[in-house]
Structure 1
Amino acid sequence: MSENSASEAQQPKVTKSDDEWKRELSPAEYQVLRQAGTERPYTGEYWDTHTEGVYACRACGAELFTSREKFDSHCGWPSFFAPLAEGRVRYLRDESMGMVRVEVRCGTCDSHLGHLFEGEGYATPTDQRFCINSVSLSLRPADDGETSPQ
């Protein structure tokens, strides 16, 4: 996996100062989104949600994942097998916990979302698990029973 995704998100980049982020985000949101923290498993708003819709970055509103790619991994965090589209997220090498992982960040505002794991054997089309913090996301439910947007 490269440091950045192959194509960039269509939205303009969002750049704010640390003070601006602190004013706009709750302490829990700031700790995860801007300081690469992790919420405790099974405590987040979306880990067990099955509502159809689009999951957007809580910091900037960029659309990142849809309910169509969400699956039950039983890990305690929302799990997706792919982002909404290439360039919506970016990938960074993370060696912070004494192991090599792939950090997932918002492609628009560079906020920390979670981590990507591969080869775990889930019965998904990609054999990938985007393990994302609920506090990093805002769910926009689909309208009138429609399926999630593309």
Structure 2
Amino acid sequence: MTKTKTKIQRSDREWRELLTEEEFRVGVKEGTERPFTPGSFNDEKRKGLFHCKGCDTVLWSSEHKFESGTGWPSFWQPASPDAVATKTDFKMIIPRTECHCATCGLHQGHVFKDGPPPTGERWCINGIVLDFRPSE
């Protein structure tokens, strides 16, 4: 028997009760936080896991984090293959691949094909929609 992941759906009103205005703008309305935003986890060097602020799902691991120089936390892969979903984003002139939490749909950022080995991917993530839990 295959275990199906539970999907969480919330109205804008429910999201606004859970998130700050900036978290709502970035996570629900698919915005982008400014690069090098203090507290965005760009400079986080400790070992640990990054959880979705919308549903507490583990999305990213410090084991996959790298310094991209872009001003956003960057990872070369999600914590697990089914943690993050993608779709094509047509908001800019050139289509990009947008990523969301696969459980609750909270917008995480974008994935690009200019990252380090072994995947060659750079998952450029808005830290404002994450909670970090250091390993003990």
Q: Shorter-chain TM-score category?
A: over 0.9
Gaps of 5+ in 2: none
Instruction: Tell me the CA shift for residue 124 of structure 1.
Output: 2.5
For residues 4 and 112 of structure 2, what CA distance do their matches in structure 1 show?
25
Give the aligned CA root-mean-square deviation in angstroms: 1.6
* Equivalent residue, structure 1, for 2:32: 38
Conserved? CA contact 1:44–1:134, under 8 Å: no
Percent identity between the two aligned chains: 38
* Equivalent residue, structure 2, for 1:3: none
For residues 44 and 131 of structure 1, what CA distance do their matches in structure 2 show?
16
Q: 1:90 aligns with which of 77, 85, 90?
A: 85
Q: How does 1:53-132 map to 2 (within 5 A)?
A: 53-118=48-113, 120=114, 122-132=115-125
Segments of 4+ moved more than 4 angstroms:
none
* Equivalent residue, structure 1, for 2:14: 20
Q: How many residues align structurally?
A: 134
Q: TM-score, normalised by structure 2?
A: 0.93
Instruction: Tell me the CA shift for residue 133 of structure 1.
Output: 0.3
For residues 10 and 106 of structure 1, what CA distance do their matches in structure 2 show?
15
